Amino acid sequence: MILEALHYTATLPVTSSEFRPFIRSSVNLWSRANRCAHAWAPHEENCKAFIRETIVGMKQRRTVVVLGSGLLRDVPIEDLAKGFDTVVLVDLVHLASVRLRMLARRYRNVRLISRNLSGLDKALAGAVPEPLAFLRQVPYLDLVVSANILSQIGVGARRQLEEMRHPEPDAIVAKLVSAHLDGISALPCRQILLTDTAYRIVDRQGEVLETTDLLAGLTPPQAVRAWCWPVAPYGELGREYQAVHDVIAR
């Protein structure tokens, strides 16, 4: 708890007031990632390998934008920083540890942007959400990576909608998921989508105790590659069961 508190305190002054409410969840993710490092390693390497394989075949490497850059555990930041003129990392919060890492490595071409990528405010106002419209203004954009953020948009939005007792949370979440997928596919550049699509709770005998669709009923894009990610291995949520997510890459 001491390390978490220190991390929170260090991140607070470098985060604008609009995004400070999200620091706690980012610190919690950092803590879980450290506890589950061994179980998460294959998933993280699969993500990084897919990104590396994609950029190898690219002739132009001017600007790359990473949506949901988070802890950078699933993003090959060194390859991106060396391979592109400009790297833009977009997320709600950039923890102090991430900022220090960028300074230590002297990645002078890396930019950190705090931005809400959900589109929930627009959807609640009855407007068509276009959370990725800002990407059309990015000059010399050659690659966009959606890095395991799509399902989190849905999970976060559903939590907020349930707290406010919204009458149609499913419809709103589906609209947000669709907006992200449509926004990515409409871009006139190379795109990478890394996302978990569903999760299941499994006991030690292999029996599935619970399943949940993370894309609000929408059919996920055709995967180029797919794997399982033990987000909560045995002992994290309980001794006798684990949570396993299905992940796709395209």
Checking 182-187 for CB contacts under 8 A at 24+ apart, the result is 183/130, 183/131, 183/132, 183/133, 183/135, 184/132, 184/144, 184/146, 185/221, 187/132, 187/135, 187/136, 187/141, 187/144
234 contacts 241 by C-beta, under 8 angstroms: yes
**Coil, strand or helix: which one is 106?**
coil
Question: What pTM, to 2 d.p., does this model score?
Answer: 0.95
The answer to which of 156-165, 174-183, 206-215, 234-243 has the lowest mean pLDDT is 156-165
- At residue 166, the pLDDT reads 86
Average pLDDT of the chain is 93
For residue range 122-132, list pLDDT tens digits in order.
988 888 899 99
Q: Does domain 2-249 have CATH number 3.40.50?
A: yes
**Coil, strand or helix: which one is 7?**
helix
Task: For residues 234 and 168, give the distance between their C-alpha atoms in angstroms, rounded to a whole number.
Answer: 34
Look at residue 1 and tell me whether its pLDDT is greater than 80. Answer: no
E-only strand ranges, the chain: 63-67, 86-91, 110-114, 141-147, 190-203, 208-213, 225-232, 241-249
Tokens read off for 152: 């989190």
- At residue 49, the pLDDT reads 98
**Coil, strand or helix: which one is 66?**
strand
E-only strand ranges, 84-189: 86-91, 110-114, 141-147
Task: For residues 184 and 189, give the distance between their C-alpha atoms in angstroms, rounded to a whole number.
Answer: 9
Indicate the pLDDT class of residue 150, thresholds 50, 70 and 90: very high
Q: Which amino acid is at 55?
A: I
84 contacts 143 by C-beta, under 8 angstroms: yes
- At residue 24, the pLDDT reads 93
Task: For residues 112 and 187, give the distance between their C-alpha atoms in angstroms, rounded to a whole number.
Answer: 21
- At residue 228, the pLDDT reads 97
Look at residue 26 and tell me whether its pLDDT is greater than 90. Answer: yes
For residue range 43-95, list pLDDT tens digits in order.
999 999 999 999 998 999 999 999 999 999 999 999 999 999 999 999 999 99
CB within 8 Å of 12: residues ≥ 6 apart: 20, 23
The helix (run of H) or strand (run of E) holding residue 122 is helix 120-124
